[in-house]
């Protein structure tokens, strides 16, 4: 029997890499103010259970699905004068669609382009002060990170970078949400014969946004079918630095299809009792048998 290690961003953070989305935000503000401002203005801000204000950067991938379309359309209305208005001019006919497209491209193409650029600036250490001693280099690794940290520091060889790898110039870096719009969610379906053609164009642009920022999880799983199908000999699963976020739930569902029912899970978490409760609740939601699961700090593993 063998071991499977599932690696998330907390693993890189544990090794001193500044790879949080908030680190990306700080970098982005200095190199592309337009894209940074679009995230700040059109992705959600909320108050968590502890009363702390959280912005879009805290969970960037997931928050891409909560793009504030109402705010976008309100903004666009500033560029949608009536055809009969005194200040109407033919040259402004496409201003509404242009402004919507500018914001949408910033949050899709622009955000992804800058994300890849930022990943290239991350410094990977060549040795670690706080090694994770339970890692077995000959085990199987499912890596949600883009960095080669597990290979560089631990000599791991059998590593699947499910969302792409900086070390492989042919791989595609995947960044996106997991929400699939239903039939009632398509903006194009709101278009009828009375809809202003400029507004209709804007609705189509919004649909384009959700398609372009969608993470094609089903396609990714299909491309890597052999890896998942080969998990039948795993006796222990270690989850290091992965928050079991909803956006990645389909990957865990696929793993559970092939993993033995009596597999043992060891899941790391960071923080106090509340963080432990959150990760345990996420494990239950995914379908992990908590009676066969141990939760521990990464530093203790």
pLDDT tens for each residue of 205-257:
999 898 888 888 999 999 999 999 999 999 999 999 999 988 899 999 999 99
Domain co-membership, 227 together with 158: yes
Domain co-membership, 87 together with 164: no
**Structural domain count of the chain:** 2
Given a contact cutoff of 8 angstroms between Cβ atoms, the answer to whether 161 and 31 are in contact is no
Domain co-membership, 101 together with 239: no
Note the pLDDT of residue 92.
Answer: 52
pLDDT tens for each residue of 77-130:
888 766 555 565 554 567 889 999 999 999 999 999 999 999 999 999 988 888
Domain co-membership, 169 together with 271: yes
Note the pLDDT of residue 48.
Answer: 67
Domain co-membership, 170 together with 59: no
pTM: 0.89
Phi then psi for 296, rounded to 5 degrees?
A: -155, 160
Q: Which residues form the domain of 149?
A: 1-19+126-179+215-301
Note the pLDDT of residue 256.
Answer: 97
Domain co-membership, 237 together with 165: yes
Domain co-membership, 166 together with 187: no
Domain co-membership, 27 together with 172: no
- CA pair distance 204, 68, nearest whole angstrom: 15
pLDDT tens for each residue of 166-206:
988 888 999 988 776 555 567 777 787 778 888 888 889 99
Domain co-membership, 162 together with 43: no
Domain co-membership, 174 together with 195: no
Domain co-membership, 81 together with 111: yes
Note the pLDDT of residue 215.
Answer: 87
Domain co-membership, 39 together with 147: no
Which of 213, 235, 269 is at the close of a domain?
A: 213
Please give the C-alpha separations between residue 265 and each of 40, 188, 197, 235, 296, in angstroms, as whole numbers.
37, 45, 55, 9, 11
């Amino acid at each position: 029997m063998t071991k499977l290690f599932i690696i998330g961003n907390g693993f890189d953070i544990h090794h001193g890499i500044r790879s949080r989305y908030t680190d990306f935000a700080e970098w982005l503000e200095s190199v592309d103010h337009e894209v940074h401002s679009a995230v700040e203005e059109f992705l959600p801000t909320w108050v968590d259970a502890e009363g702390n204000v959280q912005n879009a950067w805290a969970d960037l991938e997931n928050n891409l699905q909560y793009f504030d379309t109402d705010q976008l359309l309100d903004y666009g209305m500033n560029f949608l004068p009536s055809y009969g208005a005194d200040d109407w001019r033919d040259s402004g006919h496409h201003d509404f669609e242009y402004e919507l497209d500018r914001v949408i491209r910033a949050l899709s193409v622009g955000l992804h382009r800058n994300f890849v650029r930022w990943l290239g600036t991350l410094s990977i250490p060549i040795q670690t002060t706080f090694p994770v001693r339970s890692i077995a280099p000959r085990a199987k690794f499912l890596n949600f990170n883009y960095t080669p940290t597990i290979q560089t520091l631990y000599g791991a060889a059998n590593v699947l970078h499910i969302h792409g790898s900086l070390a492989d110039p042919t791989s595609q870096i995947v960044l996106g949400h997991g929400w699939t719009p239903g039939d009632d969610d398509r903006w194009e379906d709101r278009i009828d014969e009375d809809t202003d053609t400029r507004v209709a164009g804007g609705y189509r642009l919004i649909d384009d946004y959700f398609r372009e920022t969608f993470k094609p999880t089903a396609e990714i799983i299909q491309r890597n079918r052999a890896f998942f199908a080969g998990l039948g000999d795993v006796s222990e699963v270690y989850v290091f630095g992965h928050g079991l976020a909803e956006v990645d739930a389909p990957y865990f569902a696929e793993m559970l299809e092939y993993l033995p029912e009596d597999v043992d899970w060891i899941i790391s978490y960071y923080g106090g009792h509340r963080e432990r409760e959150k990760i345990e609740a996420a494990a239950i939601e995914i379908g992990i048998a908590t009676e066969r699961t141990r939760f521990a700090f990464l530093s203790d593993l």
